[in-house]
Copies of this chain bind each other. A is one copy, B any other.
Amino acid sequence: MTSKRIRTIEELGEFGLIDRLTAGFSIHQESTKVGVGDDAAVIDHGSYYQVVTTDLLLEGIHFDLVYTPLRHLGYKAVVVNLSDVYAMNAAPRQITVSVGISGKFSVEALDKFYEGVKLACDRFKVDLVGGDTSASVTGLLITVTAIGTALKEELTLRSSAQNHNLVCVTGDLGAAYMGLKILEREKQLHTADPEFQPELKGYDYVLERFLKPEPRVDVLLALKEAGVTPSAMIDISDGLSSELLHICKSSDCGVQVYEERIPVADETAKAAGEFQLEPLVAALHGGEDYELLFTVPLSDFEKVSAISGVSIIGNITDQKGKAFLVGNDGSAIPLQAQGWNAYTDSE
């Protein structure tokens, strides 16, 4: 048989699917500067840019209400979108929030969700300007669109990393993934024995990282104060490996990062140990950290080094599309995207 085999959604993966579905679309509007393919779309308003990003969050796929308080979910649903706006080096301004709700939800449950939305709106000074509500056949579904603005000279795409640039990340990685693993473990124990009381003491850090992520506005402000504009930036939602590969693809470059430089919190390493998991694996492939991954020119080395909460983990290379992890023994291992994939992940 030589006929072209039809590819399945699983084979294509999320990014392959998006590439395929949006391939034939043309641009009609002068104001459209960047369409599909960055953290956010970019609209030109003459003296400044506007960025627009949107996310779907579905019960049973992206969250489990057994261990996710609705207030936290409301906060997180907003924050993960703001994180995409910040990753463009833009300031969020407005959001819309739409919810589909099945019969099992009370008005009070929705009140709790919107308390979390409001907390995020007040903290990050964004306005809830619209949305839609509907009944749903099963469970809760949430979709948030966030809009922000950026000065033209400050907008930071994924596509502008340059050879020899330093590769930096904020905070530490893998914590949110270990928070999820702990919650899943306790849920399973509780399901097996309803008398079992979940034991979450001592896991505060990783649980908070999963349930209530915070966008790294602090680091963006510090960079601005230091006079540093990243050459490229992306937020880490699917895991470091996946995001490094996005930058390589968009910027048509390569990257190498050093195992010993990848920041992992002690609590994350301890939790990983309980699952016989290498902390590095959680850092590379665990998602939902919502830290920032960015590149800066070598000349900014000292300025960036002085900012607390930033780790320089490697550098951009000219080996197009290739991302390597340099191990502590000097070996170079090719990185692959094994981030959370809602199409194939069995967890």
Q: Mark A85-127, 1 if CB is under 8 A from B, else 0.
A: 0000000011010101100011110110010001001100111
- CB-CB < 8 A to A299: which residues of B? none
Set of chain B residues within 8 Å of A29, measured between Cβ atoms: 93-94, 125-127
State which of B27, B94, B122, B134 has its C-beta within 8 Å of the C-beta of A32.
B94
Q: Mark A108-151, 1 if CB is under 8 A from B, else 0.
A: 10110010001001100111111111111111010101010100
Verify B136–A53 contact, CB threshold 8 A: no
How many residues of chain A get a CB closer than 8 Å to chain B's CBs?
Answer: 75
* A201 beta carbon closer than 8 Å to chain B: no
Cβ of B110 and Cβ of A17 under 8 Å apart? yes
A137 and B94 in contact, given A21-B110, A28-B126 (Cβ under 8 angstroms) = no
Cβ contact of A145, chosen from B17, B43, B96, B106, cutoff 8 A: B96
Inter-chain contact A9/B130, CB cutoff 8 Å: no
User: Which B residues are in CB contact (< 8 Å) with A31?
Assistant: 93-94, 149
Chain B residues whose C-beta falls within 8 Å of the C-beta of A145 in the assembled complex: 52, 54, 96, 145
In-complex Cβ contact of A41 among B45, B52, B130 (8 A): B130
12 A-B pairs within 8 Å (CB atoms) are namely A6-B108, A8-B107, A17-B107, A18-B131, A25-B121, A26-B122, A27-B127, A36-B130, A41-B130, A60-B137, A136-B141, A138-B138
